[in-house]
Structures are given as structure tokens and as C-alpha cells.
A and B are shown apart, each in its own frame.
Chain A
Amino acid sequence: MEWETVIGLEVHVQLATKTKIFSGASTAFGAEPNTQACAIDLAMPGTLPSPNAEAFRYAVMFGLAIDAEIGKRSVFERKNYFYPDLPKGYQTTQLAEPIVGAGHVDIQLEDGSEKRIRIHHAHLEEDAGKSLHDLSSSIASQGMSGIDLNRAGTPLIEIVTEPDIRNAEEAVAFARKLHSIVTSLGICDGEMSQGSMRFDVNISVRLKGEEEFGTRTETKNLNSFKFMEKCIHQEVERQIDVLEDGGTITQETRLYDGETHTARAMRSKEEANDYRYFPCPDLLPVILTDDYIEDLRQSLPELPDARKQRFQQDYGLSSYDAGVLGSDAATAHYFESCATAASDAKLAANWVMGEISARLNAEEISISHAKVSAEQLAGLISRIKDQTISNKIAKQVFEAMWAGEGDADSIIDTKGLKQVSDSGAIEKLVDDVIANNPQQVENYRKADDAKRPKMLGFFVGQIMKASKGQANPQQVNKVLLDKLNA
């Protein structure tokens, strides 16, 4: 039997506003618990929500970026459910009249092909607070959960796709593209580990050729591309196993555990929530004018696809390199600053995609937290270009820079790593190695041209070793050849 997977995503994107969507409390990440939760966020009696203009501006920018119809009239509704991290007993969200209507996002797959993923709509809503279940074991907290309401009221857009995604690769490509769009727009900080972007994945399988969708499950709250990929593979395999054993899929919500990489059923459809939506009487409809929307369209920042094209044209980068470096605004900015300061786009591209990206991955930090700035990296690249140091030594200098030992010039200086280009010094190095290895010299001289290059490697190796890697390799090659062929 051949199965086909059908996936739809709901993506929660935290908007990078300074304040909450309905109150003037700060949204800064990492504050002490409950120090950024005001009377409105806590749903104190008598408070009224006061909507944040910036949240609307960001949502409209997103809508324009995905070529969507903008809801000029948007209405908030109450989605009612009880949970301790939701003080009001309802989430203020949108349903019938969302701010962003149908649009689309084009993704590029590994084989180079393009695919269009349709967006059903995107709406504005508020985030809930956080529940902490593993508290220190004081008597008071036995059997209790802790509630931190700093996140309560943080503005979100929830982006809902059509069921156009067919496998994990497409889902990840879509998620990355979305990340790239929202960070390029500057409407989200893109910090996945802080929950700035979270995915709910709806998955079903059906026999290939079948028209009707299978029964789907929803796995909630995935906050990394890697988790999402793993979760999809697991869930598809689980569903196919159940169906091939003659069973049926239960429509249910599953919760993914990032520690154990397993998902478990949270609630099934029978006990599914009945949210009893109704228009929020505390908020009037919000009307956006054509002028407002047109102004935003004109001032939209550069989007990833346009940037990719520009990087290919302006810097002569390959399509792949331009795609990687242009994908998110922070990486693009880092690369451009470095390429400009070093006046060498190719070397800058190689270093950003090589050493920098390897370091960021290893330490699981984003490029805005890189321990070597774009300007510092440019300083290092300049020293490679003017042959002060070789590529090999440059890696050593980079390590020291990353460890916070200073910029390239001072490290080269204090560690004495400057490349030896002095012809007298290089001649001496070559002479010493030739004198110490008479047998190899004789063999080389007797060998035919085809074998010589390989044999040359031995001498170069010895010379570089004697110079602690600091001899200028081009010069060594030249002097060595002259002397051996003399």
C-alpha cells in the first residue's frame, strides 16, 4: 500500500512590540516572574483592553509580505476556556473577521523545485502565561503549579495554512521560509528557543490517489525545526502502523515532549473543548484605511526572495549561498557588513557559512549573539587577503577571537603568528630541509614529472612544520621548486 501524508500547520509568531497587545506592560524576555503583568493582563475587575497600534502594523506587514487580502475591518472575539495561565477565562482572538485573509508562501525544496503553500488566514491574538509544573520541593508548592503571567497578553499572529504540505521536508522548508519572512520584516525576533515561533502540526495519512483526507491528529507546541521534523516522521509512521494493522485513527490533540522526543495524547475529540466564541464586547471593530495599508506596502523592507536575488547579482554568490546568507535578516546584515568592511564577498560568505555557522550551531546561539562581530571578522579576512596570515593560521586566530582574546591584529601580534614572507628567512628554511633530507632530494630529482608533485608535498610539509605554519605557502613553493630543480 502506498500512503500519502497530508499536513497543515498553525504557526504562532510572537510580535516584537515593546508592549502587550492590550496593555502598556513590557514584553521584554527574561524578566523576573510576574513583574511585567499589569492589572489588565491579570484580568482585574473593571479593566478594559487598550489595543496596541504596533501589533496591527506588524500583522498588516505580514499580510502584505504573503500577498494576502488585508482585513480592513477586524473584530476580536472571546475564545472561552479555563486554564490557570489564562486569567480572564478567555483568550481575546479573531475568528470571523481576521486581519489577514488568504495568501501564499513559496518554498524551495532540496531538489531545486518550488512549491506554493496556501495560507488560509492569519489572525491577531494574545499569548497566555506560563505554567511551571516542576517547582522546588518546598512544603507550600507540594502538588502545586506555579504561574508566571509575564507572557500573558504578548501579541501573536497565528498563521493557518491550507493542508498543502505533503512531508516533513516541505513542512520544515515552509517553517524556515516563514521564519525568514517575519525576521526580515522585523516583526518577530525569531528566537525559537525563547518560544518566539511555535508550531502546531495537523497530520493525517490517506492511500495515494484517495480524495478524502484521513482522520487527523494535532501535535501542539513544537518550538524547533528539528522537533517538528522528528515529530512528523514519528506521527506518520504511527498512523500508518495503526491503519495497516486494521485500526482507525482517533482525532486527538497530542503534546510533544522535547526531552524524550515522544508525543502523547492530550485530549481526544469526545472531550474536545467547546470554546463558545462570541464578539468581545470590550473592543470595538478596528478599521484600517486604504492609505494606511498602501503606506505600509510602500515601506515594506526587503523580503528574502528579493534579497537572495540581489546577493547573487551584487556579490556574485551562487544561488545556494545567496539563499543561506539571505534567509534571515540578522545573517544577511552580518554578511553584508563583513563583506563591505573586508571588500571581499566570497571570503566573507565562506567564513560566515563555515566557521561562524559551525560555532553558532555548536553553541546553539543565533548570529546576533556571535562572539566575533562582522567587523572583527572583516579584520581577519583583510589579513588573509594581504597575506599577513595563511588560511590555516587564520582558523587559529579565529578560535582566539571567538574566545574573546581580542581582534585579529592584536592576536596575530601577541602570538607572533605573522606569516613569514621574508625571502631570506624562507630560503633558509628551504635550505635546511633540503640539507637534512638528502635521500628524498635524490629520489625527487630522479623521479619523472608525473610523480614529482606528490613528492613535493613531503618537503612543503617539513618546511611548514619548521616554520610553525607561518611560512608563506606560495613563496615556499616557488623557492623550493627553484632549488630542487637547480
Chain B
Amino acid sequence: MNPSDVEKLAHLARLEISDDTIAEVSKSVSEVIKLVDQLQAASTEGVEPMAHPQDALQILRSDEVTEGNVRDAFQAIAPATEDGLYLVPKVID
């Protein structure tokens, strides 16, 4: 992991990493990757990939409305709202 890889990752994860810690973060992320490499060295021949560590199946819910209008409660803790909308800094992709 070089510093530019870390910068790209930080951007994707929307994490702010200051310039003076990039070197340190690069080093620790590299350590994590080493650990993953070690795991990947294990032979998985004949092992079915798992989607979930629990050996269980998903229960499905019936299609009935169970949730009411909770807008007031959630908007009371939002930084900015107007006309029932949450306000965020303008985004145009």
C-alpha cells in the first residue's frame, strides 16, 4: 500500500486522513493486507464459499404495513430540515 492507494481508499470511504498520518496509515493497512494474504494461503479446495458465517436461512416477512409516520421524531434530531425534507449541502453528480 503506497500513500496514493491510501488516499484513494480514504476518498471512497469518505474518511479524512491528514497528510502527516498517511505514512503511518499506509503501514498499518499494509499489515492488515499481510494478514489477509496469510489467510488466503490456506487451501480452500473442495470448500463451498459461504455467504454468511451462520448456518441458517433467512426468514421472510409478510407484506403488511407495520411502520407509521415517525418523521417528527427523526427530524427533531436532524441538523437541517424544511417542508418535511432533510437538507444537505447541494449535490449534483
Which residue numbers of A lie inside 8 Å of B, CB to CB? Answer: 17-19, 23-26, 32-39, 42, 50-56, 75, 80, 82-84, 97, 131-133, 135-136, 138, 140-141, 143-149, 255, 266-267, 274, 276, 279, 281, 283-287
Q: Would you call B93 an interface residue if the criterion is a C-beta within 8 Å of the partner chain's C-beta atoms? A: yes
Q: Does B92 count as interface, using CB distance less than 8 angstroms?
A: yes
Give the complex CA separation of A82 and B65 in angstroms: 28
In contact, B88 and A84 (Cβ under 8 angstroms): yes
How distant is the Cα of A184 from the Cα of B11 in the complex, in angstroms?
A: 45
Check B69–A35 contact: CB distance below 8 A: yes
Contacts of B86 in A (CB 8 A): 34, 84, 146-147, 149
**A146 with B61: in contact, given A131-B91, A133-B90 (CB under 8 Å)?**
no
B91 with A138: CB separation less than 8 A: no
User: Which residues from chain A contact B64 at a C-beta distance below 8 Å?
Assistant: 18-19, 24
Q: Is the CB of A33 within 8 A of B65?
A: no
Q: Which residues of B contact A (CB under 8 A)?
A: 12, 14, 51-52, 54, 56-58, 60-67, 69-71, 74-75, 80, 82-93
Q: How far is the CA of A135 from the CA of B86 in the complex (A)?
A: 12
Instruction: Let me know if A34 and B71 touch, CB within 8 A.
Output: yes
Contact indicator B75/A284 (Cβ below 8 Å): no
Structural contact, A144 and B90, CB atoms closer than 8 A: yes
What 5 A-B pairs come out closest when comparing CB atoms? A24-B66, A146-B85, A53-B60, A54-B63, A38-B67
The reply to whether A145 and B87 form a contact with Cβ atoms under 8 Å apart is yes
- Name the residue of chain A whose CB is nearest to the CB of B54: A284
Q: Residue of B at shortest CB range from A58?
A: B63
B12 pairs with A274, CB closer than 8 A = yes
Check A19/B88 contact, CB under 8 A, given A35-B69, A141-B82, A285-B58. Answer: no
> Given A75-B51, A286-B60, is A23 in contact with B84 using a C-beta cutoff of 8 Å?
no
CB of A56 within 8 A of CB of B60, answer yes
Chain B residue with minimal CB distance to A266? Answer: B93
Complex contact A26–B60 (CB within 8 A): no
Q: Which residues of B contact A97 (CB under 8 A)?
A: 51
Contact B85 A286 (CB under 8 A): no
Q: Complex Cα distance A255/B85, Å?
A: 24
A287 adjacent to B82 (CB under 8 Å): no
CB distance from A32 to the nearest CB of B (A): 6
On whether the beta carbons of A147 and B61 are closer than 8 Å, the reply is: no
Identify 28 residue pairs between A and B in the complex whose beta-carbon atoms are under 8 Å apart, listed by A's number: A17-B63, A18-B63, A18-B65, A24-B64, A24-B66, A24-B67, A26-B67, A33-B84, A34-B71, A35-B69, A36-B69, A55-B63, A75-B51, A84-B88, A132-B85, A138-B82, A140-B80, A144-B87, A145-B88, A146-B83, A146-B85, A146-B87, A147-B85, A147-B87, A148-B85, A274-B12, A285-B51, A286-B58
A24 (CB) vs chain B CBs: closest residue: B66
Judge whether B87 and A284 touch: CB under 8 Å. Answer: no
Q: Give complex CA distance A82, B88 in Å.
A: 13
Bound CA span A196–B25, Å: 45
CA distance A103 to B35 in the complex (A): 42
Chain B residues, CB < 8 A from A145: 87-91
Least CB separation from A286: chain B residue: B58
Measured between beta carbons, the chain B residues less than 8 angstroms from A26 are 65, 67
For residue B66, which residue of chain A has the nearest CB?
A24
When distances are taken between beta carbons in the complex, the residues of chain B under 8 Å from A33 are 83-85
Are A276 and B12 closer than 8 Å at their CB atoms? yes
A53 near B85 with CB under 8 A, answer no
Chain B CB count within 10 A is highest, among A18, A83, A133, A144, for A144
Find out whether the CB atom of B14 lies under 8 angstroms from the CB atom of A82.
yes
Please indicate the chain B residues that have their CB under 8 angstroms from the CB of A56 in the complex. Answer: 60
Instruction: Known A19-B63, A82-B14, A83-B91; judge A284-B85 contact (CB<8 A).
Output: no
Residues of chain B lying within 8 A (CB to CB) of residue A146: 82-83, 85-87
Is the beta-carbon distance between B84 and A35 smaller than 8 angstroms? yes
With both beta carbons as reference points, the residue of chain B lying nearest to A42 in the complex is identified as B74
Q: B58's closest neighbor in chain A, by CB? A: A284
Given contacts A84-B86, A141-B87, A145-B90, 14 further A-B contacts (CB under 8 A): A19-B64, A19-B65, A24-B64, A37-B71, A39-B70, A52-B63, A53-B61, A55-B63, A135-B82, A144-B80, A146-B87, A255-B93, A284-B54, A284-B57
- Tell me, in angstroms, the Cα distance from A37 to B88 when the chains sit together: 17
Residues of A within 8 A of B65 (CB): 18-19, 24-26
Q: Which residues of B contact A284 (CB under 8 A)?
A: 51-52, 54, 56-58
Q: Cα distance A286–B58 when bound, in Å? A: 5
B82 smallest CB distance to A (angstroms):
5
